[in-house]
Amino acid sequence: MVKFILVFLINQYSRMQKRITIKGVLLSRKIEPMYPYHNKIKQRIKNNELERYEYVEKYKNICPCMLLYFSTEPKIRPIREHRFKEYEEIFNKF
């Protein structure tokens, strides 16, 4: 069983590797799985974990930024400007 799981994981890892050719130069790039950042945040909002939010001029090189404060870890989640309207609509529903 352990051998099967190990072989499965190795196969999955090799599928995540991608070879790219640009102007005759072969590049190798590892493709990382996407983290569903906004989906997780929206689920946390629906679970009533959101305590408050605020707009700030700058937060860790994000200008401007909406900061969402949650009751559970991770406690602070930054949102970029192009997503402000989307989150404001969610807040208006709740």
E strand or H helix at 10: helix 2-16
> pLDDT > 90: what percent of the chain?
61
87/41 Cα distance (integer angstroms): 10
Q: Is residue 7 predicted with pLDDT exceeding 50? A: no
Question: Measuring CA to CA, how many Å separate 12 from each of 3, 8, 36, 46, 93?
Answer: 14, 6, 19, 33, 40
Q: How far apart are CA 44 and CA 34, in angstroms?
A: 18
pLDDT computed for residue 46 by the predictor: 94
User: In this predicted model, which residue has the larger pLDDT, 27 or 79?
Assistant: 79
For the chain, the structural domain boundaries read 37-93
Whole-angstrom distance, CA of residue 91 vs CA of residue 45: 9
Q: Give per-residue pLDDT as tens, 46-55.
A: 999 999 999 9
What is the predicted pLDDT for the residue at 9? 47
